[in-house]
Structure 1
Amino acid sequence: MAENNKTYYLHNDCVSEIKKIFSDVPLSELDDDALVNNLLERSVSVLQVIDHAMFYFVAVNFIGGSVDESYELDGCCQLALEDLCCEGEYPFKLTKSLTLLWLCKRLCRTMCTVSQTLSFLYHLNYLKCIYLHQYLIGDERSPKLKSEFQDIIDVCEECLDPTHTTEDVIQYLMLSSYLSAFYYEYEASKTFASRCAQYLNIDVKFCGVLGKCTRFQEKEVANLTVKVNRVVESKDNKTSGNSPLPQIIPLSDDVLLNSVVFSTMEEQSILSNTEQSFILLLCELHRRHYPRDDLTEQQCLAYINTVIRAVYPDSENEIKSSSSWPIATETLFRRSLLEHNSVRKTERALSQLEELSCQFKRTSPSFSERSPSSFFLSRMPSIWTLQVST
């Protein structure tokens, strides 16, 4: 098999391929170099193995949809657990298929040092591994993972060039911006976010717009929202789309509206998946950079509600932006964590979290229909995070 960047989305096929490839490979006995050599000698694409393993790991822990079972590489569970331990912190105990993430890190770590033509792609995949690894550790910042992250950035900055796809570059910039903020490197985080905005040709700013929050409100008041200005019109804007999305829970209140109805705002812009993801990234950076108070929460909700209005418009007359399952899940999850300023909104938040948790085990839509390619554009919560939040 020739090396390429083809991604496999049918996760049951992914695990079948992994079983076939490693059925007679003593993984626990091979060091990283020997493991890679074993694959290359059999003409197995290392990049495809990483894709298979990573997407199955994401399927059983984050996205769901026709998930059959967790799969672990034979004889590697304890070895993976010890290898992924950072400063005494072990990965979350409910994590499934942990050995697949361990395999991805091993392969990426080795290929980053030996591959020249695909150096950026291997480092990008290694960056994804670090994001997932840190997620499993929790809010404890790992100096080891931070050091690995910094090493990856140093290399990626040197090998960035116009030959890389815009999607890969944006994933790199978004992941780097988020992880920089997570590790308290706020200036670096802002720089990555600014570069991402330049790639997307957009400018996102707060603004105040007159509108109504209740059904019987006579006088309009100023409400905080976010305005998206484009330097160049996006080529991937889509108005509708057949991608299934999580169910949004309505407010079901006789007085409060589902969302603010703006009267003087210009027509809502169509937001592409990457633009939605970028707005949510700005929300996360804002949350981490400013004190946790009512003002910060309202500003974060302004980001979130901008995406919700684009993806889940209240009126059939409004233009609907296409989105993806991971991005929409993150959006609804973040709103549910912040909206608790009324009894009805608290009830909606709890019902929404329950719905997001229940959707994981449903067989429809399937994993391949849940836009797994958008996963690393989002900060989608894991199934156990959703279960703890309900």
Structure 2
Amino acid sequence: MTEDPWVTLVSAQDLPTLRKMLGDLPNEQLLQIAEKAFSEVICANFAGGSVSSPPPSFLSTDFAVSELKFDLIEPYLNVRALPLLLIAKIAVLDQNRLTDTSPRARLLAFRILLLWQKILREPCAILKDLMDKYAQRIELDELENEERMQYFLEKANALLGYYEYEKCSDYIQRALEISGLNLELAGKMGKRTRFQPRDIAQLVLNVISLADGDVKTVSLSPIQLAVMLAIFRLEWRSEHCDELFMEKADAYLEAIIRQRRCWSVQAAALLARCELERTRNRRVERACAQSELICKLMDGVDDETPDAVKMMRTDLVLASGLEPFWNAHVIHAETLRSLGCTAEALLIYEKLQMWDCVIDCFKQLGQLEKAEALIRKLLLERPDDSMLYCYLGDITMQTSYYDKAIEISGDHNARARKSFGFLMLLRNQFDSAYEHLRRSLELQPIQLGVWFNAGYCAWKLEHYADAVTCYHRCVSFEPEHFEAWNNLSAAYIKLGQKDRARKILQEALKFNYEHPKVWENYLLLCVDTAQFEQAIKAFHRLLDLNKQQKDDEVLEIIARNVLRICDEADDEQSTADAATLKADLVKLFGRVSAVQSLSSKAWKAYASLKRPKDGNVEEAEKYIQLLERALLADSNKPNWSKDVELCCSVLSSAIELATERLRVGSVKGGDAVKQAKSRVRMSLKPLITIAKKECGGQDPQSSDEKVVKVKELLEEADRLLLEASQ
């Protein structure tokens, strides 16, 4: 009877001996050992299983951490069965003969790398390069459809961890095509819970199998459910989390959870729902109870399920994106904090040794001195741990602790530089802050908040090109970060690239459609770049958000330019486009004037759009009404006659109104002429009297342009009054 090779491995006394033993094994046995070790790590950290294959005695967790870390990017401290992952890594990744000859080994190598990344505290660029390398060597033609779908989903989840959303979407789409599913969101009336007294409108997900002649599928396979979960997860990470998204999330997750086909997919969907619902008052208690239950199952607490059955739970763990047990505990702890149970969450974080979260809890409880005492106690045990000095700096806000962390780590601690930079930013020392943040990004480029703050510092230092670079990286990591989009647009404006800035703001509005300040900036950029159709739409949206939105100067500029476009139109198409643009602007003016008062300039701009080009009397009457409102807007202001500029505006409006009234009266003929002259006399005479009383006494020899203008307007008004009196 052949001896189990694992028994031989356990006798190894050091790493070179272990490597030699693994190197001497036949390929098939080596692959079996790697698969066994890999499966046990998955089972222990995701499914609550116990380790049935102990590692060699020399292979402690601390030793495995030292072998699996990248500088200061270390595995999470409490990873279970970590030595087994090291064995799998040595067997597959360090043995080129296996991956050179076995397609199965190449696929396993990719999965080992993905699991390795999941247990690290931060994303690692080196692992990403290795995953890409092995992914290129995987022969898809040799995989069955389900295996291919599983690999595509695993690859998508790997890319999601590195914020590569477009590539992630491509892999999910490839998996969806193989699955033969068509997913459609639809509205229907129904009850969300059994306690709901009546049906309400809700969003549901219709899943249609293309293979079954477009018949609605009742039961889906686990891999099909994993595809649906991947689609949801991508949208969650790349879209703005508003009410519409929450409705879509409910539809996707309910459709997955209702099926109950696969433990890992079910657990991943439940955890995702718990994370979403922890901020929703009506559902937070359910989220707390369900996340606690999943944590117990992952820890093997109150779970008498045999290990063989628990091993079956590992199917599709990486494809479903299921979080390891410590992240499940974090979701539970955050849900407890949402319920106000901060002390209970604190106990969970202490058990997980997540000291930054522990500090946050102490801050929330107003017991920061306890956090400081805890970190100082840990420093006595681990005086060379640079991260502990970072935590102490966060608590005390003293730069000396960050300096110490930088010194101990040999300036390889990205967290120390980041925290130092944030502290300098709080103190408005932008130059120093920018220096520290840039160094942090050199050490660890995958940091969303650091890129954003570095961009802000660059903006303050007037390094606008650097700010553009930072904000571009920021939005590539989190497309829904509309503040970064907005700031990126502002940086482009400073660089004189207004058209590009406008397009950037268009992207920002996709992720936050309700932000009035962004819409206002977008409106101004549209006007600056002569995109008047978009400017009109933006103004409508601002009115939707705030009915009292006032910007008469913008309305006047748009009106002036639209009239110019109409005058310059020289062919049938441009004339039609100009007419459509003018009609849209007239609708906007009508909407604005219905909900708020306009300035005289705005009324004149509105009137200019309605000025008749032919002898249409009805249109002329509307034009006169708008001119009357323009005159009233100025003449109703107290003491208008004492302000030379305002006096000019009143007289100019009165003259334009009188001229149009006399013109329309002459067109109508008969009594209309008398009525027009009478109305001109009634409106002009008191205005002329007041204007002469206040402004007419000015020195007639004055060279002031405004005084001269008033004199000319009074002469023109007198002429019209004389004409109306005849």
* TM-score of the aligned structures, taking structure 2 as reference length: 0.42
CA drift at 1:334: 1.2
Does the alignment pair 1:22 with 2:9? yes
Matches within 5 A, 1:348-387: 348-360=286-298, 361=300, 362-370=302-310, 371=312, 372-387=314-329
Q: What does the per-residue CA deviation read over 1:316-353, in whole Å, with 9 as the maximum and x for residues that have no partner?
A: xxxxxxx1221211121111111246544111111111
Q: Is the 8 A contact 1:112 1:122 kept in 2?
A: no
CA drift at 1:114: 4.6
Q: What does the per-residue CA deviation read over 1:220-263, in whole Å, with 9 as the maximum and x for residues that have no partner?
A: 32x222222212149xxxxxxxxxxxxxxxxxxxxxxxxxxxxx
Q: Is the 8 A contact 2:151 2:319 kept in 1?
A: no
Which of 118, 136, 155 is the aligned partner of 1:176?
155
Does the alignment pair 1:160 with 2:102? no
Q: Is the 8 A contact 1:87 1:142 kept in 2?
A: no
Q: Is the 8 A contact 2:185 2:206 kept in 1?
A: yes
Amino acid at match of 1:386: A
2:56 is matched with which residue?
73
Which of 331, 335, 340 is the aligned partner of 1:389?
331
Determine which structure has the larger helix proportion and give its number.
2
Which of 165, 176, 201 is the aligned partner of 2:180?
201
Matches within 5 A, 1:310-321: 310-311=259-260
Which SS does the other structure have where 2:206 is aligned?
Answer: strand
Amino acid at match of 1:92: Y
Amino acid at match of 2:86: W
Which of 67, 73, 76 is the aligned partner of 1:83?
67
Structure 1 26/149 Cα, relative in aligned 2: closer, same or farther at 3 Å? same
Relative contact order, CA 8 A, sep 6+: which one is greater?
1
Which of 152, 169, 190 is the aligned partner of 1:190?
169
Distance 2:42 2:36 in 1: 10
Percentage of identical aligned residues: 20
Determine which structure has the larger strand proportion and give its number.
1
CA drift at 1:27: 5.1
Distance 1:178 1:53 in 2: 22
1:276 is matched with which residue?
225
Does the alignment pair 1:127 with 2:110? yes
Distance 1:81 1:185 in 2: 27
Which of 264, 282, 293 is the aligned partner of 1:326?
264
2:502 is matched with which residue?
none
Distance 1:287 1:165 in 2: 29
2:23 is matched with which residue?
37
CA drift at 1:208: 2.3
Count of residues in Structure 1 that have an aligned counterpart in Structure 2: 325
Which of 230, 234, 239 is the aligned partner of 1:290?
239
Q: Is the 8 A contact 1:28 1:79 kept in 2?
A: no
Q: Is the 8 A contact 1:39 1:46 kept in 2?
A: yes
CA drift at 1:44: 6.0
Structure 1 342/37 Cα, relative in aligned 2: closer, same or farther at 3 Å? closer
Which SS does the other structure have where 1:295 is aligned?
Answer: helix
Q: What does the per-residue CA deviation read over 1:266-306, in whole Å, with 9 as the maximum and x for residues that have no partner?
A: 96621111111111111111112213444333322321111
Which SS does the other structure have where 2:326 is aligned?
Answer: helix
Q: Is the 8 A contact 2:228 2:256 kept in 1?
A: yes
CA drift at 1:150: 1.1
Structure 1 153/337 Cα, relative in aligned 2: closer, same or farther at 3 Å? same
Structure 1 115/335 Cα, relative in aligned 2: closer, same or farther at 3 Å? closer
Which SS does the other structure have where 1:208 is aligned?
Answer: strand
Q: Is the 8 A contact 1:60 1:70 kept in 2?
A: no
Structure 1 340/91 Cα, relative in aligned 2: closer, same or farther at 3 Å? closer
* TM-score of the aligned structures, taking structure 1 as reference length: 0.74
CA drift at 1:54: 1.1
Q: Is the 8 A contact 2:150 2:316 kept in 1?
A: no
Distance 1:286 1:224 in 2: 16
1:220 is matched with which residue?
200
2:125 is matched with which residue?
143
Structure 1 38/213 Cα, relative in aligned 2: closer, same or farther at 3 Å? same
Amino acid at match of 1:389: I
Amino acid at match of 1:125: L
Distance 2:152 2:96 in 1: 18
- Higher Rg of the two aligned structures: 2
Distance 1:183 1:342 in 2: 28
Which of 87, 92, 116 is the aligned partner of 2:76?
92
Amino acid at match of 1:379: G
Q: 5+ unaligned residues in a row in structure 2: which ranges?
A: 333-726
Q: Is the 8 A contact 1:112 1:123 kept in 2?
A: no
CA drift at 1:148: 0.8
CA drift at 1:123: 1.8
Q: Is the 8 A contact 2:51 2:81 kept in 1?
A: no
Distance 2:84 2:47 in 1: 16
Which SS does the other structure have where 1:213 is aligned?
Answer: coil
Which of 335, 338, 357 is the aligned partner of 2:273?
335
Q: Is the 8 A contact 2:150 2:223 kept in 1?
A: no
RMSD of equivalent CA atoms:
2.9
Q: What does the per-residue CA deviation read over 1:108-143, in whole Å, with 9 as the maximum and x for residues that have no partner?
A: 21445554552x3112111211221111113x2211
Distance 1:18 1:176 in 2: 32
